[in-house]
Amino acid sequence: MANFTTASSTAFVGADALQYFVSPLFLGEDVLGGMDVMTEIKGNTYLDHFTAASFITVSDNGASFAGVAGTTNSNPQISPIRVEVEISMNGNNFYNKVKGQVLRSGTDKDNVDGTVLKQIGAEILMQGIKADFNRQLWFCNSGLTAGVNNVEHYKLYNGIFASLAATLLAAQKLTVTYTLATKVLEEMYAAATPELKELPKKFYVSGAIADAYTDELVADGNAVSYVDGQNGISNLRFRGIPIVIRRDWDALLVAEGVAEAAASGDAGIIGCTGTKDQYRAALIADNGVVVGTDFGGSSVETWYNRDQKELRFRLGYLCDTVLLDAKLAVTYISADS
């Protein structure tokens, strides 16, 4: 649980708490636009996955013949873990500050409910949950054991990279020395299965790879590259495939790599070594990753704790991820060390 002080000036309507927290957090993310989001998950849930049928048409010999099994069925499992966040606000922290003018009098002076300070708490809680959700969605790994660094913050459930690492074949998990962003994207595309190349898909890349790729495009020296160098490239693509830029990855990967290089033990993020960790990417078919959660039924609680003299905010939800088929993704992690 965290306590804080800050400033804001926006009104807050208590009845809108659920909409205020949940909608921007889970529904406004470009990442989830490429995922299959299953809501109202309450526990371990099996999914149905059927392989495509092929080689089932034969010549008609004029008589009946045995049927063939045209498809096989598997059941990837979502095993969501419950996570929770809670912060508190005490009006006394704002005493003799600018926002102290909105505090109540007497024994109710610490209760910021109904004041502009409640909006401040709502915004900070939402931003914090959003940052944690994006970090955990990609980098959590339930297989981590107690160690150094931020393991406790990364072993909650299996994020996308952990799910891909557990499902993909070795040829689709690229761990090569980083040289050029263009080379990374080329090698990832070359490693993609025919099925992945055929399906709608997206590259998800760190800011470091996106910036390097842009520089390499501009360095071509033609007129188009000159214009791009002046105005930027608003819709970055490779071979027509949209590129989703995750600039939040860079700081997380670098920080975890530095921590891992300084001490022995489990790295919180898979593959961090302390060298060029910011170069990371994934190529994933649209809806190839399932995100299971119960956030549709999650509730945001706010209440004033008279014993502790503080307003509390709390939100809890379930979450887990799974890749439906090993043919639907490719990852790149820098092999520099």
Q: Clarify whether residues 285 and 297 are in a common domain.
A: no
Q: What is the pLDDT of residue 334?
A: 92
Domain-embedded: residue 68: no
Q: What is the pLDDT of residue 138?
A: 92
Q: What is the pLDDT of residue 227?
A: 60
Helix axes 116-139, 160-167, angle to 10 degrees: 10
pLDDT in tens, 6-43: 433 344 333 344 444 444 455 444 677 788 887 777 77
Outline where 87-192 has alpha helix (H). 116-139, 151-154, 160-167, 181-191
For residue 196, give both structure tokens. 């992945």
Q: Clarify whether residues 167 and 212 are in a common domain.
A: yes
Q: What is the pLDDT of residue 179?
A: 93
The structural domain count of the chain equals: 2
pLDDT in tens, 77-107: 777 788 888 777 664 444 433 344 444 444 4
Domain-embedded: residue 329: yes
Domain-embedded: residue 91: yes
Residue written as tokens 């998800």?
204
Domain-embedded: residue 69: no
pLDDT in tens, 169-179: 999 999 989 99
Lowest mean pLDDT among 9-23, 201-215, 305-319: 9-23
Q: Clarify whether residues 182 and 328 are in a common domain.
A: yes
* Residue 177 to residues 113, 183, 246, 272, 336, Cα–Cα distance (Å): 54, 10, 21, 13, 5
Q: Clarify whether residues 100 and 247 are in a common domain.
A: no
Residues 274-283, mean pLDDT to the nearest whole number: 92
Q: What percent of the chain has pLDDT over 90?
A: 27
Q: What is the pLDDT of residue 305?
A: 67
Q: What is the pLDDT of residue 38?
A: 77
pLDDT at 113 over 60: no
Q: Is 11 helix (H, G, I), strand (E, B) or coil?
A: coil
Domain-embedded: residue 26: yes
Q: What is the pLDDT of residue 14?
A: 39
Q: Clarify whether residues 8 and 135 are in a common domain.
A: yes
Q: Clarify whether residues 31 and 120 are in a common domain.
A: yes
pLDDT band at 66 (very low <50, low <70, confident <90, very high): low
Q: What is the pLDDT of residue 67?
A: 66
Q: What is the pLDDT of residue 34?
A: 85
Q: What is the pLDDT of residue 204?
A: 95
Q: Clarify whether residues 287 and 300 are in a common domain.
A: no
Q: What is the pLDDT of residue 245?
A: 92
Q: What is the pLDDT of residue 209?
A: 95
Q: What is the pLDDT of residue 18?
A: 45
Residues 60-83, mean pLDDT to the nearest whole number: 70
Q: How many Å apart are CA 85 and CA 72, to the nearest integer? A: 41
pTM above threshold 0.85 = no
Residues 125-148, mean pLDDT to the nearest whole number: 80
Q: Residue 232 — left, alpha, or beta (φ > 0 → left; ψ -120 to 50 → alpha)?
A: left
Q: What is the pLDDT of residue 262?
A: 62
- Range of the structural domain that residue 250 is part of: 162-291+324-333
Q: Rounded mean pLDDT of the chain?
A: 75
The one-character DSSP state at 119 is H
